[in-house]
Amino acid sequence: MEAIILAGGLGTRLRAVVPDTPKPMAPVAGRPFLEILLTLLANKGFHRVILSVGYKAEAIRSHFGTRFEDMDLVYEMEPQPLGTGGALRQAITQISGDHVFVFNGDTYLDLEVSDVEALWQEFGQPIIVARKVDDVARYGQVALAGRRVLSFGEKSGSGPGLINAGCYVLPVHVFANVLLPAPFSLEQSVLEPLVASGAVMAHVTQGLFIDIGIPEDYERAQTLLRVASQRAC
């Protein structure tokens, strides 16, 4: 299996606690966060990962090189910020198969990869991974009808519900009819029209999920991911 990790963001909200480090390399539980993500993907059976990098990319490349835990690592450089859509459109050209898992470089998600892969094999359509949380206020909500996505991305309301976990499975031709110049948003410009046409499936994950993009959650991750690493040993 192949994955793309979007790791080129500037990480402006996290600068107060890690001012000189690209967000994916922020230290969490004694390790660079991206190292924790790559270890997780290796344990899930991925053999090749494309790292979409931009801000301080050399710090990432020099740390990992081209192999990690028996996975091949390929770097796709953003010459300038391209948005989630522009970065992914560039990186997906490196994929050799017919589909790819997409992860955010600031989000830990213990995904049930074999179940999601089975969903792809059954339907061959884009998949959004959803997660139930106690408060949806910070995230885009997801509405489902069975395994179909009815809507996602609306940041309104509060309380428990399903959110977009920022993880997707996409066909490599997903950008075939996208003529937008970069930068553009994957979610707004590509996935929302696909959802409106009824062409997107959902997997509701039960796995540990934490986004380190803001200082409060970054601090929370220090404990959560230390415990998770100890359980995995």
Mean pLDDT of 8-35: 79
The pTM for the full model equals: 0.93
Dump pLDDT digits (tens) for 181-201: 889 999 999 999 999 999 999
Of 94-98, 149-153, 157-161, least confident by mean pLDDT is 157-161
List the chain domain ranges: 2-232
Q: What is the dihedral of CA 168, 81, 55, 10, to 10 degrees?
A: -70
What is the rounded distance in angstroms from the CA atom of residue 231 to the CA atom of residue 211?
20
Displacement of CA 103 from its chain's centroid (Å): 2
CATH homologous superfamily of domain 2-232? Answer: Spore Coat Polysaccharide Biosynthesis Protein SpsA; Chain A (3.90.550.10)
Tell me what pLDDT residue 145 has. 95
Q: Kindly indicate the confidence band of residue 231, based on its pLDDT and cuts at 50, 70 and 90.
A: low
Q: What is the dihedral of CA 77, 55, 218, 35, to 10 degrees?
A: 40
Average pLDDT, the chain: 90
Mean pLDDT of 125-133: 96
Residue 10 has pLDDT above 90, yes or no: no
Residue whose tokens read 């359980």: 231
Residue 175 has pLDDT above 60, yes or no: yes
What is the rounded distance in angstroms from the CA atom of residue 104 to the CA atom of residue 97?
20
Q: Which residue has the higher pLDDT, 177 or 233?
A: 177
- Residue 119: DSSP 8-state: H
What is the rounded distance in angstroms from the CA atom of residue 154 to the CA atom of residue 136?
10
The closest of 169, 45, 176 to 100, measured between CA atoms, is 169
What is the rounded distance in angstroms from the CA atom of residue 168 to the CA atom of residue 125?
11
What SS3 class is residue 116? Answer: helix
What is the rounded distance in angstroms from the CA atom of residue 14 to the CA atom of residue 10?
9
Mean pLDDT of 116-142: 93
Dump pLDDT digits (tens) for 193-229: 999 999 999 999 999 999 888 888 889 999 889 866 6
Tell me what pLDDT residue 16 has. 62
Q: Which residues pair with 72 in a beta bridge?
A: 48, 67
Q: How many separate helices (H) and strands (E) can be counted in the chain?
A: 7, 14
Tell me what pLDDT residue 233 has. 44
- CB of 120 within 8 A of CB of 105? no
The closest of 33, 44, 48 to 2, measured between CA atoms, is 48
Dump pLDDT digits (tens) for 43-87: 999 999 999 998 888 999 999 999 999 999 999 998 888 999 999
Q: What percent of the chain has a predicted confidence (pLDDT) above 90?
A: 68
Q: Which residue has the higher pLDDT, 178 or 161?
A: 161
Q: Give 231's contacts (C-beta < 8 A, 6+ positions apart).
A: none
